[in-house]
Chain A
Amino acid sequence: MDDNATKLAEAVDQLALQMVMIEPDDLMALGSLLRDFESIEKISLESDFGPIVAVSGALKKLVEKAILNELKDVQKGFDLLGRGIELLQKYLSEPNESQSPADRDSFWKEMESLEGIGKPAGFEAAPATESSSRETFNLTEDGQVYTDFISEAMEHLEAIELSIISLEQSPHDKEHINTVFRAFHTIKGVSGFLNLQKINKFSHAVETLLDEARNDRLAITNETIDFILEAVDLLKNMISDLKGPGRPDPSRFDIESHLAKIKRLLEGISLDEPIAGKQPLEGIVSTKVAVSGEDLSTTPKQAVDALREQRRGDSTGSGATVKVDTQKLDNLIDMVGELVIAQSLVQQNPVFSTINDQKLSRDISQLKRITTELQKTSMSLRMIPVRQTFQKMVRVVRDLCSKSGKKAELVLSGEETEIDRGMVDALYDPLVHMMRNAVDHGIEAPAKRIERGKAETGRVDLRAYQKGGHIVIEIEDDGQGLDRARILHKAREKGLVSNDNGLGEHQIDNLIFEPGFSTAEKVTDVSGRGVGMDVVKQAFEKLKGKVEIFSTEGAGCRFVMLVPLTLAIVDGIQVRVGEEQYIIPAVFIKETLRPAQEDIVKIHNKEEVVRVRNSLLPIVRLHNLFRVVPQKKNPWEALIVVAECNGQQKGLMIDDLIGKQEVVIKNLGETLESVKGLSGATILGDGRVGLILDVHGVFEIATAA
């Protein structure tokens, strides 16, 4: 027996072993089975073991059917598989003995009758039963595979966006092309496997395009990049359609025009050239260049390869991370918080201080260290780097540039800075808006830049870093800076300012945050959404952060945004109102003062105001709002907390300041969410519940009253 025969015998024995443990729905195992049959087929083909070629070929098809869930009778199919392997074993162990023909014949007969796989050793791939009308995917049965596909495909598409932009910068970098290619390949494979034909067809077409590029038969031009990004968007839409309610409706998406574009790209025709005249549209659609029919049927092998690749990607990419239900995570954090309180209650117990035992106090200190460390670690579980959000901005800037004809490069730094998980989503929209602002209003058109002696390509910096208990996000462009004369003009026109003589530069700059202010002279696709920078400011205030502008006319503009490290913790000032205690988030507090009696004025005998330096601020008597009996009746006996929110300032009257404290914000619970003036609650050091003041809400109530 030669080497190949030994190899085969080993492989077949291995297969027999696998067969014992295989489950009909274990795709991974079926995939590996398929691969084994393939190699057996190959080896036997090399060595010209005719019957083995035929049997393993047939078995391979059987496995393919099993993977595609097309077996007419799963149990019988698997029985056949077992018998086929036995047959192979017999062929190999006694090659010269004449086979018992009965065995063999009945095997083929059943193959033929059961699954329609005939004896001839042909190599037609997947059975040609895949009619194009069959988009009947059973959502309930395959739910898990399906949702996995959606989330993974989305990740792949995001990865494509990132690589494609690197590719644009170095169009000859094979690594980037390959990354993009692989991502489309995976999507194609799995979508084919899940029988999502439209997605499959389209991603296949894009893959073909990339394959050409990979093999140097197609140059990567800006047009190609644009197109691929378009394709990414289309796929994103098609895929997110899948997870929407009701049945996905692939017919909503027009892939034909995109397929036509691919064809044109492949033929080296610019997309800008009018289609009519060159080639009738119908002709393009019906010709089978980029997407010929036989290419399209994803063979099970491709699907399995894709799945395999995906799995490989998972294990290398996300290394040592675990996906955990956020609910569980929050519970854990809650319990750790309780542990810290319990620990400190024990430590502060008066009995404890009377015990003079060194070991006990050592152990208690150790316990304290551990709980503190545990708390830190558990809080850090909520944190993720801003990288993903930042990287999405690269695409945003690119799109903005191509729409406005400007040139700008986005330079990221500090992407590893970590931020609260809940904050990430909240940051996205305001950041997009700021990018728009930078490209649309900041960066000049290329010609103008050259004229001004600047580099043709503008530069936008997006930075993140931690500073104290805050994350600072900076957006800096080297554009024209804010045009203060124009801002003033606009503001006057819109009635935002009446008398602008006293306005300092900083105040003028801040006018752009006023609702209803927008200086774009023409409504563009880029900036013309009817919303201005006031939305950005509000978004940051909601996050208990703030935005500042530093602009130098002609040289650029820098926005500095400050957000708390986490939404879960707030820096608060604990105050006393009557018998009760409240926590006011420190970010809203400008100062705290005890006014002189002559600084308190009653306007129209009704509204109380306090004079703070040059301004008069309305006084909000918190005790009235919260219906408690105050300890101090008059503002000059009590304290005034000057709070600022939405550009307004008010003086909140309290009885006393208790202290400054970082507190963990908790939900008041659905039943009490509607209570106005409170934004949440926290658990104080003694285990009791403390209420957190909602400055927005308090201002609203006070204004309405």
Chain B
Amino acid sequence: MADGHIRELVAFKIDAEEFAVDIASVQEINRAVELTRIPNAPSHVQGVMNLRGKIIPVVDLRRLLGFQARAADKQSRIMVIEIGGLVAGFLVDSVSEVVRLPESAVEAPPTFAGALDADYVGGVGKVDDRLLILLNLQKMFLAAGGIAPD
């Protein structure tokens, strides 16, 4: 892609880390609601929620990305994301802003050591002195037991 191309991303936080996903894939952002746990589901599936009459699974991104679990609070948000006809919620600590990032500011993912699973990272974006980790939603979906689009 050309350098002049601008990417619009939704930035959110887990602990002190900042992440981002493509804005086009985000349907809506909700406050955390009370979820219903699904017994025997994968551990990162926090439960299911009622999204205006539809029942959708909610993935705890903390768990999926290897952070320590903690209870949702007032800042917690559920990002409703659709990929390839599937809808799921992703629970994050907080949603900060929409970031416009030129393609040139996005770098290939470095190899991570430790907590973060490198499989889910699509790149790293630089905004001023902040680093945004761009998440690979399709892989996240796969990991969540969802069906990734072709």
Contacts and interface: CB of A to CB of B under 8 A. Distances in A.
Contacts of A335: 52-53
A688 B45 contact: no
B29 interface: no
A689 B36 contact: yes
Interface stretch (B10-18, B68-76, B139-147): B139-147
Q: Which of A625, A628, A667, A668 has the most CB of B within 10 A?
A: A668
B77 to A, nearest CB: 19
A141 interface: no
A681 B48 contact: yes
Interface string A650-684: 00000000000000001111111011111001010
A689 B33 CA distance: 11
Contacts of B50: 683, 687-689
Contacts of B56: 669
B145 A690 contact: no
A675 B39 contact: yes
Contacts of B55: 666-669, 681, 683, 689
Contact of B40 (A666, A669, A675, A690): A675
A428 interface: no
A688 B54 CA distance: 11
B34 interface: yes
Contact of A580 (B34, B37, B146): B37
B88 interface: yes
A675 B38 CA distance: 8
Contact of B53 (A337, A626, A675): A337
A319 B109 CA distance: 63
Given A683-B53, A687-B50, A689-B55, A670 B147 contact: yes
Q: Which of B55, B86, B146 has the most CB of A within 10 A?
A: B55
19 contacts: A334-B53, A334-B54, A335-B52, A335-B53, A626-B40, A627-B39, A666-B55, A668-B55, A669-B56, A671-B45, A675-B40, A675-B41, A677-B40, A678-B38, A681-B55, A688-B36, A689-B35, A689-B48, A689-B55
Nearest to B141: A671
A691 interface: yes
B36 A690 contact: yes
Nearest to A337: B53
B49 interface: yes
Report whether over half of chain A's contact residues are helix, strand or loop; otherwise say mixed. mixed
Q: What bracket does the count of chain A residues touching chain B fall in?
A: 20 to 34
A110 interface: no
B125 interface: no
Nearest to A332: B53
Interface in B47-70: 47-50, 52-57
B48 A668 contact: yes
B48 to A, nearest CB: 5
A672 B34 CA distance: 18
A576 to B, nearest CB: 14
Interface of A: 334-335, 337-338, 580, 625-628, 666-672, 674-678, 681, 683, 687-691
B35 to A, nearest CB: 8
Contacts of B36: 580, 681, 688-691
A666 to B, nearest CB: 5
A688 B50 CA distance: 6
A689 B49 contact: yes
Q: Which of B35, B47, B52 has the most CB of A within 10 A?
A: B52
Contact of B38 (A666, A672, A688): A672
* Across the A-B interface, the 7 shortest Cβ-Cβ residue pairs: A334-B53, A626-B39, A689-B36, A338-B53, A671-B146, A689-B48, A671-B57
Contacts of A667: 55
Contacts of A691: 36, 38-39
B48 A669 contact: yes
A580 B39 CA distance: 10
Contacts of A627: 39-40
Contact of A670 (B39, B40, B41, B86): B86
Contacts of B41: 672, 675
Q: Which of B37, B52, B53, B144 has the most CB of A within 10 A?
A: B53
B39 A628 contact: yes
Contacts of A688: 34, 36, 50
Q: Which of B37, B38, B41, B144 has the most CB of A within 10 A?
A: B38
Q: Which of A335, A670, A677 has the most CB of B within 10 A?
A: A670
Contacts of A625: 39
A687 B33 CA distance: 10
A282 B145 CA distance: 63
A672 B145 contact: yes
Contacts of B145: 671-672, 674
Nearest to A683: B50
A565 B50 CA distance: 25
B74 to A, nearest CB: 19
Contacts of A678: 38-39
A237 to B, nearest CB: 34
Contacts of B52: 334-335, 338
Contacts of A337: 53
A663 to B, nearest CB: 12
Given A668-B38, A672-B48, 4 more contacts: A334-B53, A669-B56, A683-B53, A689-B48
A34 B88 CA distance: 56
Q: Which of B39, B45, B56, B57 has the most CB of A within 10 A?
A: B39
A240 to B, nearest CB: 28
A691 B55 CA distance: 11
A265 B86 CA distance: 58
B86 A677 contact: no
Contacts of B49: 689
Contacts of B53: 334-335, 337-338, 683
Q: Which of A669, A671, A675 has the most CB of B within 10 A?
A: A671
A205 B88 CA distance: 57
A688 B51 CA distance: 10
B27 to A, nearest CB: 15
Contacts of B35: 689
A677 B39 CA distance: 9
Interface in B93-150: 144-147
A678 B40 CA distance: 10
Contacts of A628: 39
Nearest to A676: B40
